[in-house]
Amino acid sequence: MSFLTLTHIKKSFGPVQVVQDFNMSIEKGEFISFLGPSGCGKTTVLRMIAGFEIPTDGKITVNGKDQTNLRPNQRNIGMVFQAYALFPNMNVFDNVAFGLKIAGRPKTEIEARVKEMLGLIKLDHLADRYPYQMSGGQQQRVALARALAPKPQVLLLDEPLSALDAKIRVSLREEIRAIQRQLGITTVFVTHDQEEALSISDRIVVMNQGRADQIGAPFEIYNRPATKFVANFVGTLSTIDATVADPAQNSVKIGNNVIALPESIGAAKAGDKITLALRPEALTLDRNQGRDTALTGTVESVNFLGSVIRTRMIVDGQHLSFDSFNNPSSKPPVAGETISAHFAPADLLVLRD
C-alpha cells in the first residue's frame, strides 16, 4: 500500500485551474522531485500536501488516513521553505526546538532531540548563534533540522536551495539526500533545476500547465521522455525534422539517410513529417561499433566548458549540438569546418506533443 497518495487532485483559483486531475502514489521512504517551470503547479501541489491550500476536488491520504481537509497543524508534516523562515529573535537551539515546544514535549526530550538534530546537520557547535550570524547554507541546514525535529511522517522542501550559490547548492543537496536516506523519511522536493532533480531523486514528476507530463526514474525521464515538453525541459537536445519513409518498418529519412527507428512512429504515414531528437552525448566524431549512422554538416561554433567541449553544427539547415570530452592532445573542430557526427539509431527520440 502506498504511503502518500494524491487522487484526482484539482485546484482552481477563481476561473483559473492551476492543477488538473493530478494522481500519484508515493511509497514510504521515497524521495520524489516535482520539476517544472514557474507557474506549472508544482508548488501548489506541495502546498496542498502541507495543508496550506485545500484541493478544489480530489483526495490526499498519508499512511491510509484522509488528510484532504485537515489544517497544517493537524498534519504530521515538516516543511522547509525557500527563504529559510527562521525566527530572527531566536538562536539556533530555540529555532530547532520551536515545534517541539509548541507540541508540549518535556524539556529533557526537547534538549535531547535538538542535540540530535544539530549533530545530524553538523552544526552543534553553533547552537547559540542567531540567524543573522550564519551563512545562507547554515541557515537552511537549521531550517531542515527544525522541520525534522518533531519526527514528521512526510518532509516537504519548496525550492530550498534556490537562494544559495552554485557550489553550496551542490554540497547541500547531497547532504539533504544523505540525511533523507539515513532517516528513511518520505520526501517531496520542489525545484525548477533539472540537475538537482536528476541527481537526488528516486522518481521525478515533470509538470506542465497543471498536469504531470511524465512520472519516472531520472534515467527514464532523461533517456525516454514521454512528451516533447519533457524532452525539451529536461537536459539539452537537438531536434531534427524527418520524413516517414516506411511506417511498417518504422523507418524515416533524414537528408540522404534512411534510418530504422527502435520505437514505433505510431499512426504516421509515408511522407509525413515527424520531429526526432538527439542528446549531445549521443553524437561523436568517431565512427565506432553501434554508432554507424552519420550526419555531415558545417561547424557553427565550439564552446569550451572545461571537461566537456560542446560543438554546434548545421546539417541541411538544422542545428545539432554534440559533446566530447576535453582531450589536451586532440584539437577540437573549428568554425567553418566540414565534419561528420556519428550516432546510433537507437539514440533517436521520437518527440510527441
Separation CA 272–CA 267 (nearest Å): 10
- pLDDT attached to residue 305: 86
Q: Which domain holds residue 330?
A: 236-350
- pLDDT attached to residue 209: 93
- Specify the CATH number for the domain of residue 25: 3.40.50.300
Assigned C-alpha cell, 40: 506549472
Same-domain pairing of 63 and 123? yes
Last residue within a domain, chosen from 195, 226, 257: 226
Same-domain pairing of 247 and 126? no
Last residue within a domain, chosen from 226, 252, 279: 226
Same-domain pairing of 202 and 317? no
Q: In whole angstroms, how far apart are CA 250 and each of 164, 232, 266, 282, 290?
A: 47, 23, 9, 20, 18
Mean pLDDT of 168-188: 94
Separation CA 52–CA 36 (nearest Å): 20
CB contact at 8 A, 269 and 250: no
- pLDDT attached to residue 286: 77
List 215's β-bridge partners, or say none.
205
- pLDDT attached to residue 291: 80
- pLDDT attached to residue 164: 84
Please state the domain count of the chain: 2
More confident: 328 or 287: 328
Last residue within a domain, chosen from 197, 226, 255: 226
Separation CA 219–CA 258 (nearest Å): 28
Is 108 part of a structural domain of the chain? yes
Is residue 173 pLDDT above 90, yes or no? yes
Q: What is the pLDDT of residues 219-261, one digit of tens each?
A: 999 988 888 899 889 988 888 888 999 888 888 988 778 888 8
Same-domain pairing of 47 and 94? yes
- Single pTM value for the model: 0.88
Same-domain pairing of 220 and 240? no
- pLDDT attached to residue 346: 85
Is residue 289 pLDDT above 80, yes or no? no
Same-domain pairing of 159 and 16? yes
Same-domain pairing of 245 and 185? no
Separation CA 221–CA 199 (nearest Å): 12
Same-domain pairing of 135 and 248? no
Mean pLDDT of 92-117: 95
- Specify the CATH number for the domain of residue 316: 2.40.50.100
Same-domain pairing of 258 and 204? no
Same-domain pairing of 160 and 241? no
- pLDDT attached to residue 155: 97
Same-domain pairing of 274 and 196? no
Q: How many CB atoms lie within 10 A of CB 88?
A: 9
- pLDDT attached to residue 87: 93
Q: What is the pLDDT of residues 206-223, one digit of tens each?
A: 999 999 999 999 999 998
Same-domain pairing of 182 and 296? no
Q: In whole angstroms, how far apart are CA 227 and each of 67, 125, 203, 207, 237?
A: 32, 49, 17, 11, 13
Most confident of 51-60, 266-275, 308-317, 328-337: 51-60
User: Residue 159 half-sphere exposure, CB side, CA atoms within 13 Å?
Assistant: 17
